[in-house]
Amino acid sequence: LGAASAFMSGADRALLWVSLETAGRSDRYTRWDGTARAVSQTSEALSAAAGGWLYTMGPRWPFWLQVPSAALALVTAAMLRETPRRPSVDPRSHARRALHILGFTLWHHRRLRAALALNVALGLSTFVVIWLIQPYMQARGIPTAWFGPLWAGAHIWLAAVSLASGRVAAALGARASLLGCCLLVLVGYAGLALSHVAWGLAFYLCFMTIRGLQAPILANVMQQDAPAEDRASVLSIAALVFRLSFVVVGPPIGALVDRAGMETALGVLAVVLGALALLTFSGFVRAHHATPRD
């Protein structure tokens, strides 16, 4: 499963971009990306709701039912049709080309580097809370039986926000939408830290809103700046940097929760991740102001 995800990482979004670009509709990428994510998240919500029931029937049922799902994905991939490919004039080997793209994205292209940093900051803020929300619910006295339905409901909210992301970006602009995401990091963590009752879980929706907005918007920004033949690689690098970042920050956050308590840890995260989000957003704005897109 990990290998399959690695091969697909970035390629699906790049294929969507190329398909829209070929049709002369690349300006609608954010809306299409949001729609694709909404469908995926709705499926995840329904799967979460059904998974527990299937597990009660037999622990292997969820795995067996993944087989036809995987077969459907294989059929879908086989039905894809290639767009006209641009001939590559780069004489370098694949390994040297990969190193070049890595350096180009992380060091030489200021706008890509800034967008990637903001993507990591916002991604960390939403991913960390996913690992903390279950013990948070337990501490607030929410019955374990409600975890699945509440998780599914949060993903339905996420799907709705993803579906609206294109319209939100068109109405407010990408920068204003991303600034709103950064502010929601502060609101979400502070709200969870200061709430000592079950309804405080509503602040978790702040992070679902961030996920639904920032992912399509920043994917669009990065694909506009990425070289045409390397869009999938650039998106894969963004995913890799995010995952490596979580590997670095995950253990210290876990230790903080264990030693200082959930509320204190959430308060610290509100300050640290909120400041990180605003700092990277500032860099994002400066990069796009100083080096406007051609």
Query: Which DSSP state fits 39?
Result: H
Q: Which residue has the tokens 């399509």?
A: 216
Residue 193 has pLDDT above 80, yes or no: yes
Q: In this predicted structure, what is the pLDDT of residue 265? A: 95
What size, in residues, is the chain? 294
- Comparison of pLDDT for 237 and 2, the residue scoring more: 237
Confidence label for 57 from pLDDT (cuts 50, 70 and 90): confident
Q: Looking at residues 28-45, what average pLDDT do you find? A: 86
Q: In this predicted structure, what is the pLDDT of residue 90? A: 61
Confidence label for 253 from pLDDT (cuts 50, 70 and 90): very high
Q: What domains sit in the chain, N to C, each tagged with a CATH number?
A: 2-76+111-290 (1.20.1250.20)
- Give CA–CA dist 266/28, Å, rounded: 37
pTM confidence score: 0.84
Confidence label for 65 from pLDDT (cuts 50, 70 and 90): confident
Amino acid found at 73: A
